[in-house]
């Protein structure tokens, strides 16, 4: 089992974390959904700009609130393993941090993306239940490449790059929340924002090596949960045929 080696972080790592955190918190105040900001404030004693977070401390708070914990991984892992961990209420995180030269964009997710982008919303029980249910479906249909691909697409356009409609368009996807440049691109006039549609999403290709070209907008988080329930019911009906 891998663990965070906190003593290995350098002065540059601490500076990178502080720079990314402070810059993005300020940037998100009028752009992120309130659910994320509230969870981030609740985690402030163990997740802030002053220090790189200690996973053990984060786990203690997370587990007490919703039963989730962080699972340290070396980087990207096989999709089947990822859904297995989600089903166990474990979210994957690497422990390495980008360099000062990579502040604005990098292709492979680092600790800032994993922790700052993803972890706060796992303080929200309903959101965590959604992620666990997605993982459980992935485990149940682990031998179906088609289902796993559809789940990856759903994960990508919701948990990673989802938008939420309140009085204005707000961000909840971790891939946007952890990216200074993409947070701002969402609000440019040429950005394509489509209404949330389950069937369109599970058939939509995506790329993980560039800024996104389209996003899907939820009317509410309830719409997200209802869509996953409907998707699971559809899969179970087909499995019974």
Domains of the chain: 6-239 (1.10.800.10)
Share of the chain above pLDDT 90, in %: 80
Q: Return d(Cα 105, Cα 176) in angstroms, integer.
A: 11
pLDDT digits (tens, 9 = 90+) for 90-134: 999 999 999 998 887 777 889 999 999 999 999 999 999 999 999
Which is higher by pLDDT, 8 or 209? 8
User: At 145, which helix (H) or strand (E)?
Assistant: helix 145-155
- Phi first, then psi, for residue 13 (nearest 5°) are -60, -45
Angle between helices 79-87 and 125-140 (to 10 degrees): 130
Smallest Cα–Cα separation from 58: which of 117, 8, 120, 6?
Answer: 120
Mean pLDDT (the chain, rounded)? 93
Rounded CA-CA distance 44/38 in Å is 10
- pLDDT level of residue 190 (50, 70, 90 thresholds): confident
From residue 94, alpha-carbon distances to 45, 71, 76, 117, 186 in Å are 21, 8, 8, 13, 26
Confidence at residue 239, expressed as pLDDT on a 0 to 100 scale: 64
Using one digit for the tens of pLDDT, what is the confidence trace for 32-68? 999 999 999 999 999 999 999 999 999 999 999 999 9
């Amino acid at each position: 089992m891998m663990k965070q080696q906190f003593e290995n972080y350098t002065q540059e790592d601490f500076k990178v974390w502080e720079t990314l955190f402070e810059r993005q918190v300020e940037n998100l105040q009028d752009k992120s959904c309130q659910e994320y900001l509230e969870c981030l404030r609740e985690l402030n004693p163990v997740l802030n700009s002053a220090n790189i977070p200690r996973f053990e401390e984060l786990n203690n708070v997370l587990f007490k609130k919703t039963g989730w914990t962080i699972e340290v991984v070396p980087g990207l892992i096989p999709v089947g393993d990822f859904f297995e961990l989600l089903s166990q209420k474990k979210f994957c995180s690497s422990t390495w941090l980008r360099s000062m030269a990579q502040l604005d964009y990098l292709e492979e997710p680092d600790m800032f993306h994993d922790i700052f982008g993803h972890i706060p919303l796992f303080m929200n029980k309903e959101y965590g239940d959604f992620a666990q249910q997605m993982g459980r479906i992935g485990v149940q249909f682990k031998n179906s490449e088609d289902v796993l691909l559809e789940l990856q697409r759903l994960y990508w356009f919701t948990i990673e790059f989802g938008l939420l409609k309140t009085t204005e368009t707000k961000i909840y996807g971790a891939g946007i929340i952890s990216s200074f440049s993409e947070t701002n691109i969402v609000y440019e006039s040429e950005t394509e924002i489509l209404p949330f549609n389950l069937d369109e999403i599970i058939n939509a290709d995506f790329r993980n090596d560039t800024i996104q070209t389209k996003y899907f907008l939820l009317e509410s988080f309830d719409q997200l949960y209802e869509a996953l329930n409907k998707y699971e019911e559809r899969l179970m009906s087909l499995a019974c045929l």
